[in-house]
Each structure stands twice: as structure tokens, then as C-alpha cells.
Amino acid sequence: MQIYRVGGSVRDELLGLPVKDRDWVVVGATPEQMNAQGFLPVGKDFPVFLHPKTREEYALARTERKTARGYKGFAIHTSPHVTLEEDLARRDLTINAIAVEDHRATASDPDRQESAAERVLVDPYGGQRDLQARVLRHVTDAFHEDPVRILRVARFAARFADFTVAPETMQLMRGMVAHGEADHLVAERVWQELARGLMEATPSRMFDVLRECGALNVLLPEVDRLWGVPQRADYHPEIDTGVHLMMVLQQSARLGTSLAVRFACLTHDLGKGTTPAEMLPRHIGHEERSARLLKGLCERLRVPVDCRELADVVAREHGNIHRSGEFGAAALVRLLERCDAFRKPRRFEEILQACECDARGRLGFEDKAYPQHERLARVLAAAQSVATADVAERALAAGLTGPKVGELIHAARIEAVARLP
């Protein structure tokens, strides 16, 4: 039995990055031998075991063959005779196909640190070379059997922004898209990879790669069509809507926002892709068109409710929030009500974050202040200061019920906002 640490932990260690999760491959063992050493079986589709002390996952070396059945559409074969090289060959990128032989006593002393002499790298596919060259390269042509790998390459491009995609890998990805491989991706897998890519340091790179191989038009046509759509240069010096979108997305990463905010940034301007040609470069009414397109996108990808609801409000109201400095007290309270800010103040803060990213995601505006954010936060605080229970009690004492009570609360909030300096 031989045990190897594989995948992301080895890659990140070689890059000098913090190592989070560790994955292990066991060569030359049977499930019975793993059980005998105290490992706990957890895998259903293929044998995976938890270490009795660390609870880290140890998988038996395996090969995969694409099929209509099996784990993620693959037939899994495990055997004591499967070699480490065969196991590494099924991985997506060379930088993820490097292993370190583990010389520790696997069950008795799992925490002992390896010495430099013990750390033996196994790199049959040139992963170290590609790490040094900053290249994302597929391991073997078996890459094309799993279209999710297109998304993974794009996600790694977002994580490692200074890496390039190898020309032969990009060509392979384009071929996969052209042959319809990306058309059959499961919605949950698409969302999972998109969500992870959105949370990387340079999320715009993910969409650059997806555009370059043609997958963005298949997976997110509503987003893909934004490139080449002009906007008014006096508001958007970058002009191109797709370019603006990526600048907004980068602002969301720069500000360290949540997944829901980043998704809202990605989808807030979808309606500009359907603006009639005779109306360009103006985009009158794009907010409502954005919300309609967003609904279909979210249903198709089964986007979580929190992301979906935040994106919907941002799509509908970002223009009003940008212009809110011109609003009087009554209009401001109506804006808060449409954003459901009284019931969901934390979400309203995220709405303001997305709008700030939108305003700053323009050429020359990256470091400009966005006073609407602070002002609307103060407006909400003023409106929240109204003691609604007291207003309702006085209304009931006066014989008022139902909508009349709501109207009095609404009026009291307007009065409180109007008192702001």
C-alpha cells in the first residue's frame, strides 16, 4: 500500500499559498485492507474512506470511463493494480495532477510533518513545469469527456489571474463547445462552478475564458450578448456594455462582497442586450427587461433564492438608487419600500454595495466616491426610527384600521426622512 497527497494542496504548496483541504490517493490497497486499518468507508459510487483520526478523505486509486451511468456520468474502476499515473491521468489540469508520496504511518501518526527528504514529488504530466510557466493545460485528451472541465478551467483562470490557458487546451475546449458538449451540462454543476468562480479574486477572467471558447454563449447567452453593445460615452467612457460588466464584477471582488452581490453585479444590465438598435446608445427601460431576462436565467440554472431576489431588486432599482440624490422624502421612502428595506435591512445594504460597484465599474470612476450609499443608509436609519407600534396604537385608538394604519406609518416615515439635513 502506498499513500499520496494529491491535487490542490500540492499545487498550492508549490505556489507558496496556504493549504486548506488535503486529498489523498491510496495505491495498491483493497477496501478490506482500508477497513482493517480503521478507515471509515463513505463513498457509494467509488471507495472513499475517512482517516480514523484526521477525518480527511482517502480514495482508492481509480480510472474512469465515460458512460451514461455511474458517478457524474462515468464508470469508475478501482483495483489494487491501478497505478498512481493512471489515477492522475483522469484529472483535469496538469497543475492538479501532481502527487507527494506520504511516508507517515497512516493511522498511528497522521500529524507528523514530512521532512524535505521524505517529500517525493510524482509529476508524470509536467505540472511543475506548467506552474512555473503559469499555464493551465489539460492532462490528456480524456479532458473532453467531461464538459464541466470547461468551467473548471475558467474558474482556475479567475483564481490564478496571471496564468494563461494553453493554446491546445483552448482549442480542445472550443471543439467541445462546437460539438455540443456544453449543451448538456447539469444546471446544478454549472451554478456550482459559476458561484465558485464569482468568488475568486479576478472573476472577470472566468468570463473571458468562457467567451473565448464559446461556452458563455451556450451557458449564459443573456450575458454573452452584452459585448459589442454601446452605451452613452458621457455616462460610460468604456462604452462597451460587456466591458462595463466586467469592470463592475471586478469592483465587487475588490470590495470583498458576498456571492449574492457579485451575482447581482453580473446580471444587473442584462436588458441592455435587447435594446432596439434604433434606440442605441440609450437604454430606456432596460431595468425591467433585465429583470425579465434574469428570471429565465435563474430558473434555468436553479439559482439560490437569496441570489435571485437580490439580483432582481438590483436589476429593477439600480437606476433609481443612482439618481436618489435628486429624490425628495416621499420618493426616498417609496424606494425603500420597493427594496423591502424595512423588513430586510441587511439585504438593502447589499443592494447598495452592488449599486456602488455599478457606479465605480466605469472607466475613470474606479476610485470615485459613491455618496448615494451613505445617504440611503442614513435615510433608512431615519425611517426606521419611527416607532411603528406607537403609530399603530394611536391609529387604532382613533378608530382607524387596515390600510389606514399603513398610510399613517408611511407618512410618519416620510416626515422623519424630511427632517434629515
The pLDDT, as a whole number, for residue 312 is 98
Let me know: does 362 contact 236? Beta carbons within 8 Å: yes
* Rounded Cα distance, 179 and 215, in Å: 11
Query: What integer best gives the mean pLDDT of the chain?
Result: 90
- Is residue 201 domain-resident? no
Let me know: does 227 contact 221? Beta carbons within 8 Å: no
The pLDDT, as a whole number, for residue 71 is 41
Domain containing residue 41: CATH number? 3.30.460.10
Q: Report whether pLDDT(371) > 60.
A: yes
For range 155-163, the mean pLDDT: 96
H/E segment holding residue 158: helix 148-159
- Is residue 11 domain-resident? yes
- Is residue 19 domain-resident? yes
* Nearest partner of 140 among 78, 174, 96, judged by Cα: 96
Strand 120-122 with 99-102, pairing: antiparallel
Count of Cβ atoms closer than 10 Å to residue 76 Cβ: 18
**Based on C-alpha coordinates, what's the Rg of the chain?**
27
- Is residue 104 domain-resident? yes
The pLDDT, as a whole number, for residue 285 is 95
At residue 305, φ and ψ (nearest 5 deg) are: -60, -40
> Which range of residues forms the domain containing residue 111?
2-130
- Is residue 265 domain-resident? no
Instruction: Using pLDDT thresholds of 50, 70 and 90, give the confidence band for residue 145.
Output: confident
Q: Report whether pLDDT(51) > 80.
A: yes
For 274, residues 6+ apart whose C-beta sits below 8 A from its C-beta are: 225, 289, 293
Q: Report whether pLDDT(38) > 90.
A: no
pLDDT tens track for 303-331 = 999 999 999 999 999 999 999 999 999 99
* Rounded Cα distance, 36 and 19, in Å: 29
Let me know: does 242 contact 227? Beta carbons within 8 Å: yes
- Is residue 180 domain-resident? no
- Is residue 279 domain-resident? no
How many structural domains compose the chain? 1
Q: Report whether pLDDT(257) > 60.
A: yes
pLDDT tens track for 164-210 = 999 999 999 999 999 999 998 999 999 999 999 999 999 999 999 99
The pLDDT, as a whole number, for residue 42 is 86
* Rounded Cα distance, 263 and 307, in Å: 7
- Is residue 373 domain-resident? no
